[in-house]
Amino acid sequence: MASASLSDDSVPVLKILLIGPSGAGKSAYCEDQFDPESTTATIGIDFKTKKLAVRGKAYKLNIFDTAGQERFRTLSTSYYRGAHGVILVYDISNKKSFASMEKWFDEARLNANPDAVLYLVGSKLDKVGAGGRAVSFEQGKAFAEAQGAEFCEISSKTRENVKRPFVEVVDRIVQKPELIAGTPAGSKSIDFDMGNFPSNPCSC
């Protein structure tokens, strides 16, 4: 299963969620892919793994996308389990997208670990050049502050600032030892990879 380079136990694994309304560009952000023609919901990606060093220490991030379950607001409580950080994404060229963020913050607070780090991201910064901005930087910043979250604007297309939210979220997470201590897969849970399943488990 895990490749040797990543199964190094000394690298802490952090679970980061991306949430927000459909079309906010979460998937483009998650996958480091930008396809301006693609407007379809994300299919086939469960989560993406990135390695990141903050203050000289390496971390492995498992970044989960909503898999389209944001469309009718059907994200399950299990999606939020064990998340260390939640990045809430809206589209700066879409007022409605920004207006929905209060509900998304409420949902994140309701379901995620109370200590989880919340972070607001305005996406599609590249649209500013063509006069596409509908939500100002100051509006985004003020809203984030009111929610006690940090904030930045990014463009998955031009790569501007794409790294910053992850670095800042990890930086906040590592300042909360109680959050890391509650990491899933502690000594109490059972590791099936160690189990001795028959090689052909389903005999039906």
Partner 1 sequence: MESLSAETWDTAICGTGLSQSLLALALSRSKKRILHLDANDFYGEHEAALSLQEADAWAQAHAGGGATHHLDNQLAEGENADEDVTSDKDKLSVAPKLSGKKSTIFRNAHVWKHPNAEAQGLSFPRAYSLALAPQIIHTKSKLLSQLVSSKAYRQVEFLAVGSFFVYSSTDAVSGTRLARIPSSREDVFSAQSIPARSKRTLMKFLKFVIDYDSDEQKPIWQGSADKPLSEFLVDHFKLDDRLRDFIIALTLTLDGKVTVRHGLTTIHRHLTSIGLFGPGFCAVYPKWGGISEIAQVGCRAGAVGGSTYMLDTPASIDEAGNGGDISIKLSDEVSIRTTTLISSQQIRSTTSQSISRLVAVVNSPLQPLFGVLAEGAPLPAVTVVAFPPGSLLNNTQLGSNTPVYAFVHSSETGECPSGQSVVYLTMQTIPLSSASEVLDMALTTLLQAVPATGEILYKLYYEQATSSRQSLVTSQGDATVFEFPSPSLGLAFDDESLDAVKEAWKIVMKDEALDNSFMKFEDREGMDDDDDVYD
Q: Give the interface with partner 1 as residue ranges (CB under 8 A).
A: 1-3, 5-6, 31-32, 41, 43-53, 67-69, 71-74, 76-79, 81-82, 110-111, 163, 166-167, 184-185, 187-192, 194-198, 201-202, 204
Q: Which is nearer to partner 1, 15 or 140 (CB)?
A: 15
What is the distance between the alpha carbons of residues 100 and 191, in angstroms, rounded to a whole number? Answer: 39
Specify the residue, 53 or 142, whose C-beta has the smaller distance to partner 1. Answer: 53
Q: Pick the closer one to partner 1 by CB: 130 or 202.
A: 202
How many other CB atoms sit within 10 Å of the CB of residue 139? 14
Tokens read off for 9: 């136990």
CB of 1 to partner 1, least distance (A): 8
The CA distances from residue 120 to 4, 12, 34, 39, 43, in Å, are 34, 23, 20, 22, 24
Pick between residue 76 and residue 138 the one whose CB is nearest to partner 1. 76
Shortest separation between residue 139's beta carbon and partner 1, angstroms: 28
Residue with Cβ nearer partner 1 (45 or 128) = 45
Q: Which is nearer to partner 1, 112 or 120 (CB)?
A: 112
- The most distant pair of C-alpha atoms in the chain lies apart, rounded to whole Å, by 61
In the complex, least distance from residue 51 CB atom to partner 1, rounded to whole angstroms: 5
Give the 3-state secondary structure of residue 3.
coil
Supply the minimum distance, in Å, between the C-beta of residue 82 and partner 1.
8
Contacts of 50 (CB under 8 A, 6+ apart): 60, 61, 63, 166
The least distance separating partner 1 from the CB of residue 114, rounded to whole angstroms, comes to 10
d(CA 186, CA 171): 22
| Least CB distance to partner 1 at residue 9 (A) | 15
Query: What is residue 119's three-state secondary structure?
Result: strand
**DSSP SS3 for 186:** coil
Residue given tokens 């009718």 in the structure block = 72
